[in-house]
Structure 1
Amino acid sequence: MTHPQRQAAAERLARSAPPGALRVVMDPDPAGKPSVLRTALCAWDAIEDGATHQLVVQDDMILSDTFFERARMAIAEMPDAALALFALWDSRNGAAVRFGAMAGARWVGAVNEYFPCVAIILPREVASGFAAFGRRHLDSWPDDILMNRYLRAHGIPSYVSVPSLAEHEDHGSISGNAFRGPRRSVCFLPQDVPGREGARLTGLRVLPFFKQGVAQCAVRTVPAGARAPHAPQGPDAGRWLHLDCEQYLEGSGVRIGRQQPAIVRMAEATTPEAARGAWLTAFTMGFVHQKDGLRCDPATGGPGDAPGSDAVPDPAVLAEALATVGPGGISYAQAEERIAQQRDELARITRAGLDAGRDAAERTRPPRRAHPTPTDAHPADAHPADAHPADAHRADAHRVAIVGGAGTSLGEHLVRGLRDAGHHVTTLTRRPTGHPPHALLDLTPLALPPTASPNPTLTLELTVPATKFTIHLGDLYGPGCPHDSRIGRLVWDALRSYPLTLDAPAETLRPLHTRDLVTALSLLLRTPPLEPVIGLADAPITATELAEAIRTAVRPVPLAPPEEAAHATPETAAWPPSPPGWKPVTELRYGLHTHAQWLAYEGIHLVLEV
């Protein structure tokens, strides 16, 4: 699939394939608004009579020497599956590929993200079904996000290759993705040897990845009724929580703090931030791999099973997969030449972090799970090994009952965050009777539509000392937050490449990231404030300033001109004081990035019909 501006590149790619294997499909409206989806739908519709599968490749890809041999073998092994032949070096699917390389797998189950569409194979029926679905959503979402939505809703098995069978060759982005920086494969080996296509790894629950300069971690919740240590694939596989690596490790009993290993402190070619981010991501990878015993088996493809006789890691694949951790994490802000200068040092740091994480998992025993108070509570977190922090029996840990958060994405993030901070958390469907817990937190206002409560307040009741105070929240944003709040609406539009329209450009907002809300609540549980009313928010900004931050963090979409001149709208009342010793630490640009990720990968499943 191509555009007239890149027709020559597409024709070269077609000539490099076996005769008749590839043919060029052109954008049907090259002068119109740039749209990968528009051309992709033509490609999916172009399947030939008698074909069982359709392969679609974008024009700026480089194919491995064994591309078609491996592709045909994979189709024979998984005829009903969607197969992605590429994953980005800073993506969640890329993180899954790295675990696959560590386990000797050839394919990994796709995870909560967009489904990579730059080189993809679909069964004929799936291709035609997606084409019909995509036509109903033109000018809405990118093709890879819609593809993930379609595959997940229909329970279609979806896998990503280990290593990638194609590499991205940047020729500039017609669709407006150049602002993302270099976009390379997590692991590309041109001469990868075909075979063992049945060796699969699925059911991953924890995905450490380095992106936007931050060591991040996605953790899957177990759906209601599931008891297995790893949840099944498919549309009912539970939600994903968006954490950072330090929070995940803290909840698993490992405190990194400010310690800097010698290999990070002595980094010369790269920056201290990049060195620490790569090391921390790799440390988490090693910890998860050792703790969960991730192995693949051709018969089951699930972690925790005994490995198959041929499921042995390929040293070359593993080395390349680890070498892209650091470059992927800094690619958003650095040129390819500068990234290449740091690659070798970042690879050594990644290896050291991986080994340190494995050692830490050997030393860390699984924490004892606290017995919940007998109520009508039900679990609102992931697997017990991840859900309860090792320091939950600290002297300053408290029992807190949360009302109104069960079953909501935001509630799950808050519950997880408080547990990882060391608190005993029980979720309730109604206020408790009898002996009260140490603390009762009512999250019911957060479940109301943002239009009904644009700046909600929470109540926190403590029994010792007996007190009740009100918490004023600013404009809440981040993982778990809705798409129709004052901040969410603009992020949602930017994700779909819509211009940002401001009803009142000079309107004042007070952003509050969900991670900062967690740290504030944890502090209030341990040190109750003297004031009966508390305010939580970052410094006030105008709607115009917020829009500019979104254009930087999410996508550089146009800013629609206001219909009339903007007038300042000063706050009518003083904002309540913050808790002593607390201040928000989430940088706005990064916080907006995490909000956009959650909306695109999780929030879309809650609002977009298939």
Structure 2
Amino acid sequence: MTRYRLSGAVMTHPKRRAAAERLAQAAPPGALRVVMDPDPAGKPSVLRTALCAWSAIEDGATHQLVVQDDMILSDTFFARARMAIQEMPDAALALFALWDSRNGAAVRFGALAGARWVAAVNEYFPCVAIILPREVAAGFVAFGRRHLDSWPDDILMNRYLRAHGIPAYVSVPSLAEHEDHGSISGNAFRGPRRSVCFLPSDVPGREDVRLSGLRVLPFFKHGVAQCAVRADGPGPGDGPGHWLHVTCEQYLEGCGLRPGRPQPAIVGMAEASGPAAATGTWLTAFTMGFVQQRDGLDRTGAPGSGTVPDPAVLAEALATVGPGGISYAQPEERIAELRDELAQITLAGVEAGREAADRLRTRPARPRTGAPLRVGVLGTGTPLRVGVLGTGTPLTEHLVRGLSDAGHHVTPLDRPTVPEAPTTPEEPPGRPYDALLDLTPLTPLTPDPQVPATATATATATATATATGTGIGAGIGAGAGIGTATGRGTPLTLKYPSTTGEFREVAVHVGDLYGPGCPHDGRIGRLVWDALRSYPLTFQESAEPLRPLHVSDLVGALSAMLRTPPPEAATGLAGAPVSASELAEAVRTAVRPVPIAETPPAPSAAPPHRTEEAPWPSAPPGWKPATDLTYGLHTHAQWLAYEGIHRALDV
């Protein structure tokens, strides 16, 4: 290197000083020096030590490397790191990605395409082994000092890089591996934390071959095949990292595929791992193969001329799909036993996904919105053309996406107009949709700086019309459209035109909403938000229980009611009631095992007046929530940490 010089630090705590010193001694002379936690007796904080490590850059160095003390470095770590700096001198470089992460999913696509680096996606930015340019490191130190005792360093790092437009890449394969020595910062509950792809003897070179622009990221985490999907066009919070969170199955259905369960031959391969692990592994791999083939990340050419996958890198990247997905619940020894079997299932899933993409090319695409391919007929179970009001928030964006993926032809509306009544069951000329869904009770009147002004103005106008009785929601009651952080209160409205010229209206009462798109200041969101930041969970028990309702369950219920209208004029959607203390325990399990501190009610001269809770309306026939509370809270935490943080005002 001539223009660039790299200095490095190993960050550690006195309890692990010996491990840090061994790591520094194994590196080339002078490449790493040990940096200690400045307050080892204080509250555990990775960020506090990391800021010291970033500040320890040597005079004359242009880049700083920071490595945590429980990492194993590849044999060619420093050679590849220096070559990467020469190719990308202005970028942040992560040298590790977890096997169950979104960045790990990006690394797998990089391995499929023969790339050496992939653009980081909106998640935490891996900080266990990372290189920053000198100016970026100094800027992050100043930023981090303003946010001590708030968020983990990797989430803050992602936010800082994104806010300042700093290019960020992740290595393919990883140049470091995690070696668990216990977790001082409280991450041991997550299970084994291994690299998506670690090859100790990876050969340096071709550091200019990079892959970016990924729009679909299938990953297997927490036992569920999940998918992060880049949103198209302007929308709530649009900008770098605007992603929607769905399951792989939901995404595939939206693409016109219904893979269902793996083929019997694939299930037969799961002699030891069991159907749950096999299904999650196969669905993730199927989605990966489908996206790779459909988007042109073929096995022989992309992203650069003459690049081909490295067989060893590709094999290792695919072999970690299944292990990463079950790592939250299985010990290291059991994961090792299942690795080869899950790798076979992954390979079969990738090939099946590629074949499905080839078959789909001969079929006409179904549009998500706009002009439908056919007209739905109420009561027949067929998808409908649906006009939707109040689509100006991340939550309603997820709902619209879910209804589209379920086969409905959704048209977001900018005014509360009533559809013309049909005269026959067939499509009449000029009728734009079959039913109207009013989501404005979920749209806050307070302007969100991340939402386009037109969407906010539309929501405000719609809410005003509804509250005054002049809009589609007339008769719901004053206050409609004001919205709550949970969804409780004013019901949503489904309006069905009929052959008589009248409109049948169904009030849809929803419980305490949680999951992707939901904010951080509701009864559920506040506890999840605090657990993410390692704060104690404080709450007051109430005579009224919570009725958790996950976003995906709301989508499923609305979809069912759009196909077959419920018989009653009011319906209720919620899961089993839980107390505040039960919810807090569930949050500790799903997010982080932080302390619980129940807050006693404020003293008053007289006991509070309690009114009897109104009976909860019955659910639509045949519907019941399907989302496990623990998993649902996990998805809510993911949303808040990777998307919601950019909309919060207090971080």
| TM-score when normalising by structure 1 | 0.91
Q: How many residues align?
A: 581
Secondary structure of the 2:53 match is helix
Name the CA distance, whole Å, in 1 between partners of 2:302 and 2:349. 26
**1:396 aligned onto 2:382:** yes
For 1:118-129, what aligned pairs fall within 5 Å after superposition? 118-129=128-139
Bigger radius of gyration among the two: 2
**1:596 aligned onto 2:637:** yes
Q: For residues 576-595 of structure 1, what are the alpha-carbon distances to aligned partners after superposition, in whole Å with 9 as ceiling and x for unaligned?
A: 00000100000000000000
The 8 Å contact of residues 153 and 235 in structure 1, kept in 2 or not, is answered as no
In structure 2, the CA distance between the partners of 1:545 and 1:452, relative to structure 1 (3 Å rule), is closer
Q: For residues 205-244 of structure 1, what are the alpha-carbon distances to aligned partners after superposition, in whole Å with 9 as ceiling and x for unaligned?
A: 000000011111110012429xxxxxxxx98235111000
The 8 Å contact of residues 57 and 119 in structure 1, kept in 2 or not, is answered as yes
Name the CA distance, whole Å, in 2 between partners of 1:12 and 1:353. 41
Question: CA shift at 1:262, angstroms?
Answer: 1.1
Q: For residues 173-215 of structure 1, what are the alpha-carbon distances to aligned partners after superposition, in whole Å with 9 as ceiling and x for unaligned?
A: 0000000000000000000000000100001000000001111
Match of 1:276 in 2: 279
Question: CA shift at 1:367, angstroms?
Answer: 3.9
**1:426 aligned onto 2:411:** yes
Q: For residues 37-91 of structure 1, what are the alpha-carbon distances to aligned partners after superposition, in whole Å with 9 as ceiling and x for unaligned?
A: 0100111111111111110000000000000000000000000000000000000
The 8 Å contact of residues 549 and 625 in structure 2, kept in 1 or not, is answered as yes
Match of 2:48 in 1: 38
Match of 2:31 in 1: 21
Match of 1:555 in 2: 592
Give identity over the alignment, percent.
73
Match of 2:270 in 1: 267
Name the CA distance, whole Å, in 2 between partners of 1:44 and 1:531. 62
Question: CA shift at 1:455, angstroms?
Answer: 3.6
In structure 2, the CA distance between the partners of 1:486 and 1:564, relative to structure 1 (3 Å rule), is closer
**1:242 aligned onto 2:245:** yes
Match of 2:466 in 1: none
Match of 1:252 in 2: 255
Secondary structure of the 1:74 match is helix
Match of 2:531 in 1: 494
In structure 2, the CA distance between the partners of 1:389 and 1:137, relative to structure 1 (3 Å rule), is farther
Name the CA distance, whole Å, in 2 between partners of 1:287 and 1:389. 24
The 8 Å contact of residues 540 and 601 in structure 2, kept in 1 or not, is answered as no
Match of 1:333 in 2: 329
Letter in 2 for 1:538: G
Match of 2:399 in 1: 414
For 1:64-83, what aligned pairs fall within 5 Å after superposition? 64-83=74-93
Name the CA distance, whole Å, in 1 between partners of 2:416 and 2:29. 69
The 8 Å contact of residues 223 and 236 in structure 1, kept in 2 or not, is answered as no
Question: CA shift at 1:507, angstroms?
Answer: 4.5
Moved more, 504-513 or 7-16: 504-513
Moved more, 392-401 or 263-272: 392-401
Letter in 1 for 2:591: V
Secondary structure of the 1:140 match is coil
The 8 Å contact of residues 262 and 283 in structure 2, kept in 1 or not, is answered as no
The 8 Å contact of residues 97 and 162 in structure 1, kept in 2 or not, is answered as yes
Name the CA distance, whole Å, in 1 between partners of 2:599 and 2:418. 52
The 8 Å contact of residues 86 and 160 in structure 1, kept in 2 or not, is answered as yes
In structure 2, the CA distance between the partners of 1:109 and 1:235, relative to structure 1 (3 Å rule), is farther
Match of 2:435 in 1: 439
The 8 Å contact of residues 124 and 154 in structure 2, kept in 1 or not, is answered as yes
Name the CA distance, whole Å, in 2 between partners of 1:216 and 1:599. 16
For 1:84-483, what aligned pairs fall within 5 Å after superposition? 84-224=94-234, 236-237=239-240, 239-294=242-297, 307-365=303-361, 367-370=364-367, 396-406=382-392, 408-432=393-417, 435=420, 437-448=433-444, 450=484, 454-464=488-498, 466-483=503-520
Letter in 2 for 1:35: S
Question: CA shift at 1:481, angstroms?
Answer: 0.4
The 8 Å contact of residues 100 and 324 in structure 2, kept in 1 or not, is answered as yes
Match of 2:455 in 1: none
Letter in 2 for 1:517: L
Name the CA distance, whole Å, in 2 between partners of 1:62 and 1:247. 38
Q: For residues 336-364 of structure 1, what are the alpha-carbon distances to aligned partners after superposition, in whole Å with 9 as ceiling and x for unaligned?
A: 00110000000011101111110111111
In structure 2, the CA distance between the partners of 1:433 and 1:584, relative to structure 1 (3 Å rule), is closer
In structure 2, the CA distance between the partners of 1:371 and 1:80, relative to structure 1 (3 Å rule), is closer
In structure 2, the CA distance between the partners of 1:187 and 1:258, relative to structure 1 (3 Å rule), is closer
Name the CA distance, whole Å, in 1 between partners of 2:68 and 2:532. 21
Moved more, 435-444 or 522-531: 435-444
Gaps of 5+ in 2: 1-10, 421-430, 445-482
In structure 2, the CA distance between the partners of 1:605 and 1:168, relative to structure 1 (3 Å rule), is same
Secondary structure of the 1:607 match is coil
The 8 Å contact of residues 488 and 509 in structure 2, kept in 1 or not, is answered as no
Question: CA shift at 1:264, angstroms?
Answer: 1.6
In structure 2, the CA distance between the partners of 1:360 and 1:371, relative to structure 1 (3 Å rule), is closer
Letter in 2 for 1:294: L
Secondary structure of the 1:105 match is coil
Q: For residues 384-419 of structure 1, what are the alpha-carbon distances to aligned partners after superposition, in whole Å with 9 as ceiling and x for unaligned?
A: xxxx9999999812110111113x211111111101
In structure 2, the CA distance between the partners of 1:185 and 1:456, relative to structure 1 (3 Å rule), is farther
Question: CA shift at 1:561, angstroms?
Answer: 3.6
The 8 Å contact of residues 208 and 284 in structure 1, kept in 2 or not, is answered as yes
Moved more, 245-254 or 452-461: 452-461
Name the CA distance, whole Å, in 1 between partners of 2:135 and 2:511. 47
Letter in 2 for 1:132: A
Question: CA shift at 1:554, angstroms?
Answer: 0.3
Letter in 2 for 1:475: D
Gaps of 5+ in 1: 226-233, 298-304, 375-387
The 8 Å contact of residues 392 and 422 in structure 1, kept in 2 or not, is answered as no
Name the CA distance, whole Å, in 2 between partners of 1:41 and 1:191. 31
The 8 Å contact of residues 64 and 166 in structure 1, kept in 2 or not, is answered as yes
Name the CA distance, whole Å, in 1 between partners of 2:142 and 2:134. 13
Moved more, 568-577 or 150-159: 568-577
Name the CA distance, whole Å, in 2 between partners of 1:372 and 1:169. 48
In structure 2, the CA distance between the partners of 1:425 and 1:452, relative to structure 1 (3 Å rule), is closer
